[in-house]
């Protein structure tokens, strides 16, 4: 009865919320809207009805995007309130991905101001400033004058130690890649450690999901590092994150001199994915778009698997996280596509 008691409330409530998530079919129809204003009107009976008023008041697509992301992050507080113990800690570890993305945005802006000597004023109003798991000193970081000052400002959070050894290197080499990698590695470690503390059934489900997230992150890195930075195989392997299930960091997986295109790599690593339906890609953007599409597909399959299993497990939480994030990505894609007046067929490709 303990498991049923623990999950009965959260399961019923999350299933109700999942029932309101806008599916791909509805959003593909939204791509037919003639402009952004018309698109926002189609959301009037959904959880995104507020966007019409936001855009009416601001006429600012960036403010709309921020409001959508804030809406997604707000659900974290809901989960924190209605879970406890190891389950709550696992929910917090999932929420760290949002927090880490915000911190990386803040540090990129700090980097632009202090290292590249650029004006960042037009970007700072769109940062999410409310605490998620930890309280980030966002504005003091943006105004800090040195890597050491940033690390000190973050010393009250776990990120202080994470970035302390890599921020100076970033300033000296004028690249933030090492900083972002360190933050990502910390987040995935937290997810893995919190998953290990769950009860046995929950642990298996959580580890399967976190392993998938690591695989997807590493696939994205391979594409970026190989096709954009032209790194060799050894350099790529050195920059991948541990903990993946299908994409382990081994020479037999990424042999020296491998020349696979991204579609063939996906088919090898995820044989049940849709790589068979995607031909050779040519541009860096197309490769990344393909990885994003595959990522959404794999996560959606994971969500459906969780929803079809035991309703009194952490699977319902994972399914909600996955489906909500996919929905948010599609909403933001739609808004920007209509704002910049992309063709309907191109919008559908992006969704």
3-state secondary structure the chain: CHHHHHHHHHHHHHHHHHCCCCCHHHHHHHCCCCCHHHHHHCCCCCCCCHHHHHHHHHCCHHHHHHHHHHHHHHHHHHHHHCCCHHHHHHHHHHHHHHHHHHHHHHHHHHHHHHCCCCCCCCCHHHCCCCCCCCCCCHHHHHCCCCHHHHHHHCCCCCHHHHHHHHHHHHHHHCCCHHHHHHHHHHHHHHHHHHHHCCCHHHHHHHHHHHHHHHHHHHHHHHHHHHHCCCCCHHHHHHCCCCCCCCCCCCCCCCCCCCCCCHHHHHHHHCCCCCHHHCCCCCCHHHHHHHHHHHHHHHHHHHHHHHHCCCCCCCHHHHHHHHHHHHHHHHHHHHHHHHHCCCCHHHHHHHC
pLDDT attached to residue 290: 73
The CA distance from 39 to 33, in Å, is 5
Q: What is the pTM of this model?
A: 0.89
Tokens describing residue 2 = 């303990």
Local confidence pLDDT in tens for the 351 residues of the chain: 456 666 777 888 888 999 999 988 999 999 999 999 999 999 999 999 999 999 999 999 999 999 999 988 887 777 887 888 999 999 999 999 999 999 999 999 999 999 999 999 999 999 999 999 999 999 999 999 999 999 999 999 999 999 998 999 988 888 898 899 999 999 999 999 999 999 999 999 999 999 989 988 888 888 888 877 788 888 888 888 888 887 777 666 777 777 767 777 777 777 766 555 444 545 666 777 777 777 888 888 888 888 887 878 899 999 999 999 999 999 999 999 999 998 888 888 887
pLDDT attached to residue 283: 67
Helix axes 159-173, 85-114, angle to 10 degrees: 20
pLDDT attached to residue 2: 56
The CA distance from 134 to 272, in Å, is 38
Sequence-distant contacts of 246-255: CB under 8 A, at least 24 apart: 246/211, 246/215, 246/270, 247/214, 247/215, 247/218, 247/219, 249/218, 254/222
User: Is the sign of the CA dihedral 81, 85, 87, 89 positive or negative?
Assistant: positive
Q: What are the boundaries of each domain within the chain?
A: 85-198
Output b/e per residue, 278-301; b: 16+ Cβ within 10 A.
Answer: beebeeeeebbebbebbbbebbbe
pLDDT attached to residue 252: 67
8 Å CB contact between 290 and 278: yes
State the distance between the two ends of the chain, measured CA to CA, in whole angstroms. 42
Tokens describing residue 231 = 């790194």
Tokens describing residue 167 = 């921020």
Tokens describing residue 130 = 């409310």
Tokens describing residue 338 = 């209509």
Largest CA-CA distance found in the chain, in angstroms, rounded: 60
8 Å CB contact between 323 and 303: yes
Q: Which fold has domain 85-198?
A: V-type ATP synthase subunit C fold (1.20.1690)
């Amino acid at each position: 009865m303990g498991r049923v008691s623990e999950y009965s409330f959260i399961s019923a409530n999350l299933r109700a919320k999942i029932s309101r998530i806008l599916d791909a079919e509805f959003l593909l129809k939204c791509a037919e809207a003639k402009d952004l204003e018309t698109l926002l009107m189609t959301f009037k009976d959904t959880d995104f009805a507020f966007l019409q008023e936001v855009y009416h008041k601001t006429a600012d697509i960036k403010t709309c995007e921020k409001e959508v992301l804030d809406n997604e992050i707000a659900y974290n507080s809901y989960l924190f309130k209605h879970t406890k113990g190891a389950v709550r800690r696992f929910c917090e570890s999932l929420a760290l991905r949002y927090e880490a993305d915000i911190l990386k945005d803040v540090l990129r802006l700090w980097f632009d101001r202090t290292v590249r000597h650029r004006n960042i004023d037009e970007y700072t109003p769109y940062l999410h400033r409310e605490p998620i798991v930890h309280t980030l000193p966002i504005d003091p970081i943006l105004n800090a004058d040195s890597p050491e000052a940033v690390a000190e400002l973050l010393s009250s959070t776990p990120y202080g130690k994470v970035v302390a050894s890599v921020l100076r290197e970033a300033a000296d080499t004028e690249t933030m890649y090492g900083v972002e990698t360190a933050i990502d590695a910390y987040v995935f470690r937290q997810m893995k450690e919190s998953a290990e503390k769950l009860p046995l059934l929950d642990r298996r489900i959580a580890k399967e999901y976190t392993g998938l997230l690591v695989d997807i992150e590493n696939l994205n890195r391979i594409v970026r590092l190989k096709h954009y930075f032209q790194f060799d195989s050894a350099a790529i392997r050195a920059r991948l994150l541990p903990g993946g299930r299908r994409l382990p960091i081994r020479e037999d997986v990424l042999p020296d001199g491998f020349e696979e295109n991204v579609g063939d790599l996906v088919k090898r690593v995820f044989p049940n994915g849709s790589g068979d339906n995607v031909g050779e890609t040519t541009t860096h953007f197309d490769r990344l778009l393909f990885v994003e599409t595959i990522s959404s597909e794999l996560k959606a399959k994971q969500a459906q698997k969780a929803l079809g299993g035991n309703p009194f497990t952490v699977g319902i939480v994972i399914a909600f996280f996955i489906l909500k994030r996919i929905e948010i990505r599609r909403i933001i894609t739609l808004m920007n596509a209509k704002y910049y007046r992309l063709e309907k067929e191109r919008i559908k490709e992006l969704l």
